[in-house]
Amino acid sequence: MKARVTIMLKDGVLDPQGEAIRHALGGLGFSGVDGVRQGKVIELDLASVDAEAAKAEVARMCEGLLANTVIEKYAIEIV
């Protein structure tokens, strides 16, 4: 079973990397981009066969290591 975790900065947290991407896109002629938020995606191969148990385990991983929950939010998808 696979799990995909998408981690993004929480709303209201400044995103300097996103702003740098937005600026670079403007420099390349892409004028319609008003904002960019940059995040990360982590895919995990899990031994679990129970989707709910796997999702709970991945949530514990996010809380303990994968996401900085002070400034980041995460979404878990079992695929």
SS (H, E, C) the chain: CEEEEEEEECCCCCCHHHHHHHHHHHHCCCCCCCCCCCCEEEEEECCCCCHHHHHHHHHHHHHHHHCCCCCEEEEEEEC
Indicate whether this model's pTM tops 0.75: yes
Give pLDDT, residue 17.
97
Chain segment 19-74, per-residue pLDDT in tens = 999 999 999 999 999 999 999 999 999 999 999 999 999 999 999 999 999 999 99
Which CATH number belongs to the domain containing residue 52 in this structure?
Answer: 3.30.1280.10
Give pLDDT, residue 26.
95
Give pLDDT, residue 33.
96
Tally of domains in the chain: 1
What residue numbers bound the domain in which 15 lies? 2-78
Give pLDDT, residue 36.
97
